[in-house]
Amino acid sequence: MSERLTAGATAPEFTLKNAEGQDVSLRDFRGRNTVIYFYPAASTPGCTKQACDFRDSLGALQAAGYDVVGISPDPVSKLAAFAAAEGLTFPLLSDEDHSVAEAYAAWGEKKNYGKTYQGLIRSTIVVDADGQVAVAQYNVRATGHVAKLRRDLKLDA
């Protein structure tokens, strides 16, 4: 597992396929703040809740200068179905080999019901307009995370 990112670090560059099969790169967001959130699996209860929270906050986030990108190890076809089913209008990116999750330290050892395995660690990284990490949060909860992130970014009055 990579070392966890901290504020001030340079965000690792990436290019991944979105739900439409088009390439999306971190550099596409240069000049704006970008919320990159890593989630384990599309269409599962927790991931759906988190994605819908981002969807519902998207206007306020964009008005404050933040774009949102979701990354999971799901294939493009599953992301397309998830986006359509939930009305998600921000990019969902496919990281099937989890190389980007590894670069962002969002892939590693997890424990569930006494079993240890390698998997995606629910994480959110905010990258500033210059490509530097502004906020790095690991092991976040699906429920309530977007509200907490908005408070941390001082977007709620």
Rounded CA gap, 129 and 107, in Å? 25
Q: Is 47 a catalytic residue?
A: yes
Rounded CA gap, 156 and 48, in Å? 23
SS3 18: strand
- Decide if 126 contacts 153 (C-beta within 8 A): yes
Rounded CA gap, 149 and 65, in Å? 14
Which residue, 99, 126, 120, 87, is CA-closest to 15? 99
Rounded CA gap, 135 and 153, in Å? 9
Catalytic residue among 11, 19, 47, 58: 47
For the annotated catalytic residues, the residue numbers are 47
